[in-house]
Chain A
Amino acid sequence: MFPYSEASWSVVDGAMFIGWGTSLPGITTVLAMIACVVVLVIGQRSESAKAKTFDK
């Protein structure tokens, strides 16, 4: 996954993160977005259910 053709730091002159030049950054960005939304959905459901137990 080293983003340069030669596995040497001496050739690194720009982006150096894992997946640079591939679709990995885009995929992880979209997955991170989805994860945030899913957490909110789960959080809303569990908090609503718990709050209902306090209804008189």
Chain B
Amino acid sequence: MEDQIAELVAKVAALEAAGSGAGAKVTNTMFAETYYYLTIPLMIIIHAGFLAYEMGASRLKNVLSSGVKNILAFAFMIPTFYFFGWWVYFGFPTGIPGAAGPMGISGVEYANSIAWGWGESAQYMGPNIADNISGVFFGAFALFACTTASIMSGAVIERIQTVGFIILAVVLGSFAWVVAAAWGWHADGWMVTKWGVHDFGAAGLVHAVAGFFALGVLINLGPRIGKFNADGSANHIPGHNMPLTVVGLMLIIVGFWGFLMACVVPPGEAWSWFPDKFATIYGTPITLGSLSFNILMGVAGGIIGTWLFTRDPFWMMSGALAGIISTASGLDIYFPAHAFLIAMSAGLILKPCADWLERRGIDDAVGAVTVHGTIGLYGVVMLGIWGAGYPSLAIDNAPTVSLMGQIGGAVVFFLLGFVPGYVVSYILKMFGMLRIREGAELAGMDLVKVPAAGYPEWGTDAPVTPAE
């Protein structure tokens, strides 16, 4: 009997050791790795959504070329982010010239050691049995980059050249937003450590940067032929498939659960902020429950607010996006009903803001500047109003969130989007690489760019729009 008891005690001790020692460590490592890994296909759903919604928003003669553009943006973003985007993120949080920050995870020297595809740092940029996190963390950030570039993609459909667009997408997705992320979405980011900027879900550093980058491009690109009349009034150019567009927008909403999930740092690893709590990228505590509450209420508020003035399913689903974006900066700390009201207010102002832009001669085919740019900045500033006083980092004497800090952050995000968008598209225009030739635009870009037909049995008797 005593032998049996001793054997039992030994087994219990072994089980306890496995539960709290190396076994638990391996399990947690696998959890953390799987956590980020699963955000990647979830974020690819965003691109299924962008693909559907941009193709649906295009006229029949442009449907496939819009899709090709979207697919290529995704394809070029991954390698370019691998080549240099990842390096930029870690290299410049403290600004130029890239000095090391206090957390020890920034600066050019640090970036050189982990983010180049050659030399010693290549060990962190490829299969490594001792490194479970670099690949999945890179993958999540690469999908952030793809998402950012795709936001601009919808605004410029039906008249942009393919290669010019890809160059713009690379500048936006693998550089401009990455600088914004380094400065405002990193524990060593100077906007965080000096101004207390808090933008948990990237309302400013992804959405606003992408939206205002698109505005800079649209100014140089010009409107589609037939969009505006001689007196300056605008014609509505309907896409060929509203149901496809609306379903695409819903897919984007689905994918955003992955996007926002990837903004969270799991616990228990050497690189984690806490042994037992999820954290934001700033190291402040968060739960997935917070996201569940506030994303759902944000989506609902955005739809309801937009429905009131538009009754239009395109704008209602855009309102759902606006609902998430307007609350994204503070999804970790808003009360759900508060998030609902902020999202609803974003839904209310969405269409009037888009109309205001159109009256100034900007042809934003899908409302990207407003949904992502204007509402992104709105969300950043809203958190300055409501979240003032919250510590922006999980350290002693941390800077706190403030209205002036958030406004300053919003201005920087605007400039990081608009300036490169305008300058690079201006240069492309000078070299004749921005806009498709008039004859090709009138004939339809599918004839120019794609050796296939979107709807081969439809024939040539598709309904025409005022623009044709």
Contact = CB atoms under 8 A, between A and B. Distances in A.
Interface string B97-122: 00000000000000000001111001
Contact of B123 (A20, A26, A30): A20
Contact of B443 (A12, A30, A54): A54
Contacts of B442: 54
B87 to A, nearest CB: 12
Given A54-B443, A54-B447, A40 B123 contact: no
Nearest to B442: A54
B423 interface: no
B440 A29 contact: no
Interface residues of A, number: 27
The contact size tier of chain B is 20 to 34
A54 B128 CA distance: 52
B161 interface: yes
Given A43-B162, A47-B163, A54 B448 contact: yes
A52 B433 CA distance: 13
Contacts of B118: 23, 25-26, 29-30
Contacts of B454: none
B448 A25 contact: no
B433 A44 contact: yes
Interface in B40-89: 76, 79-80, 83
A35 B108 CA distance: 26
Interface string A1-32: 00000000000111111001001011011101
Nearest to B84: A33
A54 B437 contact: yes
Contacts of B463: none
B128 A14 contact: yes
A25 B122 CA distance: 7
B129 A13 contact: yes
Nearest to B126: A17
Nearest to A43: B163
Contacts of B443: 54
B22 interface: no
B167 interface: yes
B436 A51 contact: yes
A25 B125 CA distance: 9
Interface of A: 12-17, 20, 23, 25-26, 28-30, 32-33, 36, 40, 43-44, 47-48, 50-52, 54-56
Given A13-B129, A26-B118, A47-B161, 5 more contacts: A28-B117, A40-B163, A48-B432, A51-B436, A54-B442
Interface of B: 76, 79-80, 83, 116-119, 122-123, 125-131, 161-163, 166-167, 432-433, 436-440, 442-443, 447-449
